[in-house]
Amino acid sequence: MYKVLVVEDSKTIAKALAMKLIKHGFEPHMFYSYEDVKLELTDENQYFAAILDLTLPDATNGEVVDLVLKYKIPSIVLTAVLDDEIYEFMTNKNIIDYVIKNREEDLDYTVSIVDKISKYIGKKVLIVDDSALSRTVLKNHLKLLLFDVYSAKDGKDALEFLENNRDVIMVVTDYHMPIMDGFELTLNIRKKYSKEELVIIAVTSHGSYEVTAKFLKYGANGYINKPFTKEEFNYTINNSLEIVQALKDNKKYLNMLSQNVVYSTTDKDGYITFVSQAFEDVTGYSKDELIGKRHSVLKHPEMNEYIYKELWETIRNGKKWVGELRNLKKDGTDYWINVEIEPLFDNYKNIIGYVAIRFDITDKIIKEKQQNIMFQQARQATIGEILNTIAHQWRQPLTAIAMILQNIQDDIEYNEQELDITKLETTFEKAYSQLDYLSKTIDNFRFFFKPSNEKIHFNIKNMFVEIYTLLERLFLEYDIEFKMDMSDIFILNYENEFKQVAINLITNSMEAILKIKEQNSSFKGLILIEAFVDTTYVSINFIDNGIGIDENIKNKIFEPYFSTKHDKNGKGMSLFICKNILELNLHGSLELLNCKNNTKFNLKIPLKS
């Protein structure tokens, strides 16, 4: 970590500079007076760079600048004002730069200079000039920026140096030189190195527009006309290197996009003009096989034509289209993508083409299909269980109806001359009552398993009352007490999906209780449902006093295909499916809170999904 000397009498500014330096990875050392700095500096205690306040309480005439430069520490000087006298002082000192410290942005700029020169350390720069004096002047300027500086007296020497030093990042060249001038040198360098690979700065006293234009046309990144100020020189050097770095970063970013993002461009008629590397990787087609063709080469025959019609209507109207498409790879395998297509416009708002970014969602689609299959299987299994329950509950009323009919038949056979009308009416009422119960039971069943196409407001308490009504005869037959501890709570969600989860949790509790009853027929079962509002969620506890869940399996109960049923042929909706319906469809959660004695599952569901 580079050490940076900060000398500033304002502790607020010094602290702000220190924080910014730390964020850039530097180690700031702060001093507030000339005398403190004087005691600090030694030949052994060298700093990488210094930020110096021009005026200190005990050194008002810039003495601290001379002190620090004596130790050859590259320095940036801060000043609150810049009059002619101060400007002359700054230009006569061998400093990197000076900054007027009036705004927060000025401090950011100061730290950015430190950051720049830290990146220049050890970077090779070649000066090419036939004048020894010019080479010395340029060398001093560049050394201030911490470059490793080398020199050549003409273009021929420069090319030889570059041949043996491939790590040079910048050439600063004069125009008029013997043997090979700056133009020819620039042309020769550009045969081997691009503008991003090697920066060329032309420095010339022949400051005509013609010379400048030729240098730029031949491949120079920038130019400086002699005579120049330190500010001009530093700006040109820094700006040229920043542009090159930005280009490199952009290329790197675009390459990363090409490698990882599936995107393409087309002309206004839909013919492909570009595809990324990731596009090639996903489809199996090469650029040469795709460019000039339409995307229909990838179209899956089972895709609805209406989708493509809607797509083209949208983008031709200048709007973005977003959707999912099923495509075919070159080898014939299909894949799914989420695609965003946007029009490209010229300066007159005319559509000149389209750009499409795709995200491979094949795994997501496969997972959703698998989950849908599991949900459907689980739903069918739950329907089967409820049908068994209904069949069990219908035995008694069907037996009662059969007995009523038998009694009527007996009356007809043994009382042929006269029937008791009053008795017959009472008998019919009993039969109608049983038939009404059967009708309500099947209506409840049909309503329970009707898919929920949209979210509705419903009362959780009423829902559990309906579940109790559906299972009431089983509770009575098996001597299981069903209790609810809740007030009226309304939520917005898919009611029937929630009912299916609740029924499954309740029937699981019933089975756990029946397992104990196999050993103790007098055992009194209890299922308790508690519900209360917890901020934006409803928290519901399903508690039973059944056999509980084995400690060895409590961490597996939410795994796919794992069942808590207590026999090998256990059916119904697994807890994995319950949890997934809650999380994916209802935006809720399910967890086991207690697995011994009073088993407790906690279900959370949002008040408004």
Burial class (CB in 10 A: 0-12, 13-18, 19+), 38: middle
pLDDT at 570: 47
Helical ranges in 145-229 per DSSP H: 155-164, 182-192, 209-218
pLDDT at 437: 67
Asked, colleague to colleague, whether 122-257 and 263-336 share their fold, the answer is no
Chain segment 452-485, per-residue pLDDT in tens: 668 899 999 999 998 898 888 889 889 999 999 9
User: Could you tell me what percent of the chain has a pLDDT over 70?
Assistant: 87
CA distances in angstroms from 479 to 189, 377, 400, 513, listed in the order given = 96, 31, 22, 10
Can you tell me the distance from the alpha carbon of 320 to that of 326, in angstroms, rounded to the nearest whole number? 19
pLDDT at 452: 63
Helical ranges in 165-304 per DSSP H: 182-192, 209-218, 230-260, 277-283, 287-290
Cβ(230)–Cβ(141) under 8 Å? yes
Q: What is the CA radius of gyration of the chain?
A: 42
Cβ(438)–Cβ(399) under 8 Å? no
**Model confidence at 4: pLDDT above 70:** yes
- pTM (predicted TM-score): 0.53
Can you tell me the distance from the alpha carbon of 271 to that of 357, in angstroms, rounded to the nearest whole number? 16
Burial class (CB in 10 A: 0-12, 13-18, 19+), 363: exposed
Architecture per CATH, domain 368-606, reads as 2-Layer Sandwich (3.30)
**Model confidence at 349: pLDDT above 50:** yes
Of 78-82, 239-243, 391-395, where does mean pLDDT reach its minimum? 391-395
Domain boundaries, the chain: 3-118, 122-257, 263-336, 368-606
Mean pLDDT over each residue of the chain, to the nearest integer? 86
What CATH class does 263-336 carry? alpha beta
pLDDT at 10: 93
Find the helix or strand (DSSP H, E) in which 322 lies. strand 321-328
Structure tokens at 103: 């705004």
DSSP code of 585? Answer: I
pLDDT at 584: 82
**Model confidence at 585: pLDDT above 90:** no
Compute the average pLDDT of residues 39-49: 85
Longest dimension (CA), the chain: 145
Confidence of residue 497 (pLDDT cuts 50, 70, 90): confident
Which residues are CB-neighbours of 256 under 8 A, at least 6 positions away?
none
Chain segment 112-154, per-residue pLDDT in tens: 999 999 999 999 999 999 999 999 999 999 999 999 999 999 9
Compute the average pLDDT of residues 350-364: 88
Domain 122-257, CATH 3.30.565.10 — does that match?
no
CA distances in angstroms from 408 to 420, 433, 551, listed in the order given = 10, 16, 58
**CATH, domain 3-118, list 1.10.1740.10, 3.40.50.1950, 2.40.30.110, 3.40.50.2300:** 3.40.50.2300
